[in-house]
Amino acid sequence: MSNFNKPKTIVANWKMNPVSFGEAESLIKTIKNGIQESDKTKIIICPPVVYLSKIKANSSFDLGIQNIFWEDEGAYTGEISAVIAKNLKIKYTIIGHSERRKYLNETDEMVNLKIQSALKNNISPILCIGETLKEKQEDQAIEVIVIQVEKALNNITKSQIINSEFQIAYEPIWAIGTGETPSINEIMSACLLIRKIVSNLYDRETAEKISILYGGSVNSKNAFDFVDKTGMDGLLIGGASLNGSEFARIVELFG
């Protein structure tokens, strides 16, 4: 069902790294120097929010914010809205990363509100979903994925999805930062399952329009197969995106 001619999307999620703008700048420089412009890949860099403007001014990469709040403005100390991100010309936002679900108790309902706010402000969501190790061991992964996708997309219309660059990242929590990864078959099954859920909620056209990414211990050795052999449209990369030459190597696999 996936379109193999679609450019592959490679997203760098820097999380709460690096700790100085100087390091962020040199990371961007290393990435820039390591890759060739290609219409076969689409790169999105998601740095800590305080670096966004400066990176935007100094590079041509598409940028994403790692999180947004669901209200547009007001007394919400410490939060950043989709409107603020839009006014900074940010085009993408990660929503519902498992680290936020875990450390900040983000719920599926909050994730849904954030998606609504992003879409209202023309920011394309990168929705993160995925099961824990316990859920996998107890054979609950499919149910967890179904619930997460259905709740995240509650009240979201087909046209909102079709008119955005909506992406769903399958990130099994047990694979994040652990060096453990699912098998090719498991990644392929997750990709098919997510398209099936979207197809059931909307239709086939919507399911084909959504990009599905894999994330969790991606490196330059496993990256190509995780996309090429599974039907995934790209990758969401944490640790390996903090090593500029390793990240560039991954991008170049698809160039």
Binding site for ligand 13P (CB under 6 A): 13, 97, 171, 176-177, 215-218, 236-240
For this structure, is 97 an active site residue?
Answer: yes
The nearest distance, CB 178 to ligand 13P, in angstroms, is 7
The nearest distance, CB 40 to ligand 13P, in angstroms, is 22
Which of 97, 99, 165, 246 is the catalytic position? 97
Q: Given the complex with ligand 13P, which of 69 and 170 has the nearer CB atom?
A: 170
Which of 131, 135, 171, 246 is the catalytic position? 171
Longest dimension (CA), the chain: 48
Q: Given the complex with ligand 13P, which of 111 and 160 has the nearer CB atom?
A: 111
**Which residue in the shown chain puts its C-beta closest to ligand 13P?**
238
Q: Given the complex with ligand 13P, which of 80 and 240 has the nearer CB atom?
A: 240
The nearest distance, CB 239 to ligand 13P, in angstroms, is 3
Q: Given the complex with ligand 13P, which of 123 and 206 has the nearer CB atom?
A: 123
The nearest distance, CB 57 to ligand 13P, in angstroms, is 25
Kindly list the catalytic residues. 97, 171
